[in-house]
Amino acid sequence: MINPMSTQLLMPLAPHGDLLNLFDVLDPVAPQLRELAVAESEPGAVICDGLRVRLTSVGQPAELPSTLAISLLRLDETTLMCSVSDVTLVVQQEQQRLVSQLRDATRIDSLTLMPNRAVVIERIDGALHKARTDPQYEFAVLFINGDRFNRINVTLGQSAGDELLRLMAARMNGTVRMRDAVGRATDPEQTAARHARSS
């Protein structure tokens, strides 16, 4: 038995309308299902839960689902219950979150966990633009340079130098007000960041 919604979701896998056997329909995208069902013979066994399958039909209209989630449960020796869901939007949102996380990761200095040079330049450019359009807007940029820092690396080793940088970062972050905390999604008025310079 199959309900109308499942029929509609599975139709891209069965263009000729042959939906008599679910395993045959899903075989091109989930060939492992039949074997999993045989292996799980106990009533109540979960054969799969939320197994995602991609629909890659050529020329498929954009409004049709591109990713389905399949859940399969054994009711008894001869009966299975399957749930088919369209998770296209969920997958797209997950991909957008991943892209955002990767973008954020490239904007953070891995040693100090402070915003990096790209963020510094972006924030200064933004402040300069705002100052040009709003005469009342004021901002300040403070550069702190660690003079003769290389001596730490040479005399005590790079791990000691790294620890000192982390300590400096923690203290600078401690001076930034809570509402202006580093790494906020919104654009804070103050930002402590590391502008690493190769030497």
pLDDT per residue rounded down to tens, the chain (199 residues): 788 888 888 888 887 888 888 899 999 889 999 999 999 989 999 999 999 988 865 455 556 678 999 999 999 988 999 999 999 888 888 888 888 777 777 788 888 888 888 888 888 888 899 889 998 888 877 777 878 888 888 899 999 989 988 888 888 877 766 544 344 334 445 566 666 654 4
Q: Is residue 53 a part of any domain in this protein?
A: yes
- Number of domains the chain contains: 2
Tokens 């091109």 belong to which residue?
28
Which of 91, 121, 156 terminates a domain? The answer is 91
| Helix/strand/coil for 157 | coil
- Using alpha carbons only, what angle is made at residue 22 by residues 17 and 27, rounded to the nearest 5 degrees? 95
Residue-number span of the structural domain to which 183 is assigned: 111-199
Q: What is the model's pTM?
A: 0.50
Going by the DSSP 8-state scheme, the letter that residue 19 receives in this structure is -
Asked if residue 133 and residue 70 are part of one domain, the reply reads no
User: What element of type H or E holds 167?
Assistant: helix 158-175
Instruction: Please give the structure tokens belonging to residue 29.
Output: 């995208």
